[in-house]
C-alpha cells in the first residue's frame, strides 16, 4: 500500500509535501520520496525508510518550486528496493514525468510485455512504470488527455498523482478502489490519499477525486475530464476496517465513525455475556472497541499498551521478525486484567501470529477468560488491488474454520463480524465496496502468475 500527496500553486510545495507525507506514513514505511518542479526543472529525492529519517531541511532546501508530489511506499507489486521507490521521475521527448501510485494494476505484465517488445527499457519492477512509459508515448495535446490516453486499457486499482512538466494531474481508477481527496490552501490545490494529510498542512477539504476522473492543475487553472465508460464502484472496504487513519475521511465518510459502528454491530452479533470489560488491540481497533463498549455497556479499558517506536508488525518481511516484534510492540496491564473475564477487540486477523501472541500475553497477565471479537469477517483471500495481504496459504481464515481458529489462538470464544454487518456499517455502504479478501468476490480476473513471479 502507499500514501500519495501533491500540491500545485504554493511557494513551499516541497515542505508541505514533506509534512503531508508525515501523516501518510502509516500507508507505507519502506521508502519515501518527493519531487518538486520549478521553471520546467524537476528535482527530487527518494530514499529507503521513513520520511523523518532522510528528509531534513537541507534536502527540502534543494527542492524549490510551486508544484510537488510525494509518496510513501510499502511494496505490493515489485520488490522493496530503491529502484522501486516513488515518485518515479523520467525525462522524455516532451520534458519530464513524475509519478506516484497507490494501488495494484491487474494487467501490468501484459502491457509491459508489449512495451518491451517495442523496445521500451524498464528501470524498475514496479507495475506503475507501465503508466510512465504509456504517458511518454501519448500523442494527445493536453497533459490530462495524455494521461487518459495512457490509462486506456490499464486495469486494476490506482490513485495517481502525476507531474507532466508544470502540470499536476490527479486521477482515480474508474472503480474508485483507492481514496484520493482534493483540498485547497491559500489558492493552492492539494491532493492526498487521506484527509488527515490535508489537515496537517492546513488545507480545506473540497471533495474527493471522482472514480474515472482526471484533474489537471497548472498556472492556467484547474481542469477536469472523465475517462470514457461507466464502471461499477469497488471502493476498498479494508480502508475503513484497518488501513486509513481514524481522523481521516475516505470515500467521503469518517473512518472513526465507520470503526465505531463496526464495533457496535460486532457487539450486537457476538455479545459476550458475563464479561467484565472490553479493550482494544491498539491503535487500529480503538474505535471498534469503543463501539463494542457503547453497545454492550461493558467498561472500556486500556489493557494493552503499544510501543509507538515499533512499526506495523505485519510489514516485517520475515516470519521470525514478526514473532519477535509482538512482544516488542505490545505489553499487557496486569492491574486491569488479573482475574477478569475480558473481551479483546481487533479489527482483523491475517496470519494469526500477532493475535496468538497477544492472547498468550493477556492470559499471562492474569485474564481468567479471553473472548476475542473481530470487527470484520475472516480474511479468506489475498488482495489483488494494493493491500499487502499474504498468499492464501498463510491466511488463517482461508485454512481453518472459526472454531479451529479459536482453538489455535487459545481463546474462550471467538466472534467475527458478518459480511453484511461490515458492509452495513461503513459510510456509503452496503453497495459499491470491494470485499474480495473477505468474500472471494473478486471483481476482476487475477493478476497473472507470471506478473507475481516477475514483478514480485
Ligand atoms: P495477525 O494476528 O498476525 O494476523 O495480525 C493481526 C493484526 O494485523 C491486526 O491487529 C490488524 O490490525 C493488523 N493488520 C491487518 N491487516 C494488515 C495489513 N495489511 N498490514 C499490516 N497489519 C495488518
Q: Report the chain (456 residues): mean pLDDT per 10 consecutive residues.
A: 96 98 95 95 94 89 97 83 92 95 95 94 93 96 98 97 98 98 98 98 98 97 94 98 98 98 98 97 97 98 92 53 76 98 98 96 97 98 93 96 98 98 97 98 84 42
Q: Ligand 1 centroid vs 314 CA: distance in angstroms?
A: 6
Instruction: State the pLDDT at residue 323.
Output: 59
Ligand 1 pocket (Cβ < 6 Å) reads 242, 281, 284, 312, 314-315, 346-355, 387-389
* Phi and psi torsions of 274, nearest 5°: 90, -10
Is residue 230 classed as helix, strand or coil in its secondary structure?
coil
Give the position of cell 523520467. Answer: 90
Instruction: State the pLDDT at residue 319.
Output: 58
Instruction: State the pLDDT at residue 51.
Output: 87
Instruction: Map out the domains of the chain as residue ranges.
Output: 3-231, 256-452
Q: Ligand 1 centroid vs 70 CA: distance in angstroms?
A: 25
Q: Would you state the cell numbers that stand for residue 125, as one nine-digit string?
A: 519492477
Helix (H) or strand (E) holding 13: helix 13-22
Length of the chain: 456
Which residue among the candidates 2, 236, 383, 434 is catalytic per the annotation? 2
| Ligand 1 mutation target, pool 104, 242, 280, 370, most atoms within 8 A of CB | 242
| Ligand 1 mutation target, pool 348, 353, 394, 437, most atoms within 8 A of CB | 348
Instruction: State the pLDDT at residue 135.
Output: 97
Phi-psi region of 222 (alpha: psi -120 to 50; beta: other; left: phi over 0): beta
Instruction: State the pLDDT at residue 54.
Output: 84
Asked if 440 and 419 touch (Cβ cutoff 8 Å), the reply is no
Residue nearest to atom 11 of ligand 1 (CA): 348
Q: Ligand 1 centroid vs 28 CA: distance in angstroms?
A: 14
Residue nearest to atom 6 of ligand 1 (CA): 349
Distance CA 441, CA 384 (A): 12
Pick the CATH number of 3-231 from 3.50.50.60, 1.10.10.10, 3.60.20.10, 1.10.40.30: 3.60.20.10
388 CA closest ligand 1 atom index: 19
Instruction: State the pLDDT at residue 77.
Output: 74
Task: Tell me the pairing of strands 188-192 and 2-8.
Answer: antiparallel
Distance CA 172, CA 374 (A): 30
Catalytic residue flag (residue 434): no
357 CA closest ligand 1 atom index: 2
Give alpha helix (H) positions in 118-227. 129-137, 143-151, 196-201
Distance CA 233, CA 235 (A): 6
Distance CA 255, CA 4 (A): 18
Distance CA 442, CA 133 (A): 28
Helix (H) or strand (E) holding 202: none
Distance CA 166, CA 187 (A): 17
Asked if 239 and 194 touch (Cβ cutoff 8 Å), the reply is no
Distance CA 206, CA 135 (A): 28
Instruction: State the pLDDT at residue 45.
Output: 94
| Ligand 1 mutation target, pool 241, 324, 354, 414, most atoms within 8 A of CB | 354
Asked if 127 and 137 touch (Cβ cutoff 8 Å), the reply is no
396 CA closest ligand 1 atom index: 4
Residue 56's Cβ-count burial label (10 Å; 0-12, 13-18, 19+) is: exposed
Q: Which residues contact 58 (CB under 8 A, 6 or more apart)?
A: none
* Phi and psi torsions of 98, nearest 5°: -125, 140
Distance CA 13, CA 10 (A): 5
At the second CATH level, the architecture of 256-452 is 3-Layer(aba) Sandwich (3.40)
Amino acid at each position: 500500500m502507499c500514501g500519495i500527496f501533491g500540491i500545485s500553486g504554493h511557494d513551499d510545495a516541497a515542505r508541505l509535501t514533506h509534512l503531508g507525507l508525515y501523516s501518510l506514513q502509516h500507508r507505507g514505511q519502506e521508502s519515501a520520496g518527493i519531487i518538486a518542479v520549478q521553471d520546467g526543472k524537476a528535482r527530487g529525492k527518494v530514499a529507503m525508510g521513513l520520511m523523518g529519517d532522510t528528509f531534513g531541511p537541507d534536502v527540502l532546501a534543494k527542492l524549490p518550486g510551486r508544484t510537488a508530489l510525494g509518496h510513501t511506499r510499502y511494496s505490493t507489486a515489485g520488490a522493496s528496493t530503491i529502484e522501486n521507490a516513488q515518485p518515479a521521475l523520467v525525462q522524455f521527448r516532451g520534458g519530464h514525468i513524475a509519478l506516484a501510485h497507490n494501488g495494484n494494476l491487474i494487467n501490468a505484465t501484459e502491457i509491459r510485455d508489449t512495451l518491451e517488445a517495442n523496445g521500451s527499457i524498464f528501470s524498475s519492477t514496479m507495475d506503475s512504470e507501465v503508466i510512465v512509459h504509456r504517458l511518454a508515448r501519448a500523442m494527445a495535446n493536453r497533459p490530462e488527455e495524455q494521461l487518459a490516453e495512457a490509462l486506456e486499457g490499464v486495469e486494476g486499482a490506482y490513485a495517481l498523482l502525476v507531474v507532466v512538466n508544470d502540470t499536476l494531474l490527479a486521477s482515480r481508477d474508474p472503480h474508485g478502489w483507492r481514496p484520493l481527496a482534493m483540498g485547497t490552501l491559500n489558492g493552492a490545490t492539494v491532493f492526498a490519499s487521506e484527509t488527515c494529510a490535508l489537515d496537517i498542512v492546513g488545507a480545506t477539504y473540497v471533495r474527493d477525486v471522482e472514480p474515472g476522473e482526471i484533474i489537471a492543475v497548472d498556472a492556467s487553472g484547474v481542469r477536469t475530464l472523465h475517462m470514457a465508460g461507466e464502471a461499477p464502484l469497488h471502493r476498498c472496504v479494508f480502508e475503513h476496517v484497518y488501513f486509513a487513519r481514524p481522523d481521516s475521511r475516505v470515500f467521503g465518510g469518517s473512518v472513526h465513525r465507520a470503526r465505531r459502528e463496526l464495533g457496535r454491530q460486532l457487539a450486537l452479533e457476538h455479545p459476550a455475556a458475563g464479561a467484565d470489560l472490553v479493550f482494544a488491540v491498539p491503535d487500529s481497533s480503538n474505535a471498534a472497541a469503543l463501539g463494542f463498549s457503547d453497545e454492550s455497556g461493558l467498561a472500556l479499558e486500556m489493557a494493552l499498551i503499544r510501543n509507538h517506536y515499533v512499526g506495523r508488525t505485519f510489514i516485517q518481511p520475515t516470519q521470525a521478525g514478526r514473532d519477535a516484534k509482538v512482544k516488542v510492540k505490545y505489553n499487557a496491564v496486569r492491574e486491569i486484567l488479573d482475574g477478569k473475564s475480558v473481551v479483546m477487540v481487533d479489527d482483523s486477523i491475517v496470519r494469526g501470529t500477532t493475535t496468538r501472541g497477544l492472547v498468550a500475553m493477556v492470559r499471562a497477565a492474569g485474564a481468567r477468560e479471553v473472548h476475542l471479537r473481530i470487527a470484520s469477517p475472516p480474511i479468506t483471500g489475498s488482495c489483488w488491488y494494493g493491500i499487502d495481504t499474504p498468499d492464501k496459504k498463510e491466511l488463517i481464515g482461508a485454512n481453518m474454520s472459526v472454531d479451529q481458529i479459536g482453538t489455535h489462538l487459545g481463546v474462550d470464544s471467538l466472534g467475527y463480524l458478518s459480511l453484511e454487518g461490515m458492509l452495513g456499517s461503513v459510510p456509503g455502504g452496503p453497495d459499491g465496496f470491494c470485499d474480495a479478501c473477505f468474500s472471494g468476490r473478486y471483481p476482476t480476473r487475477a493478476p497473472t502468475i507470471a506478473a507475481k513471479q516477475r514483478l514480485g
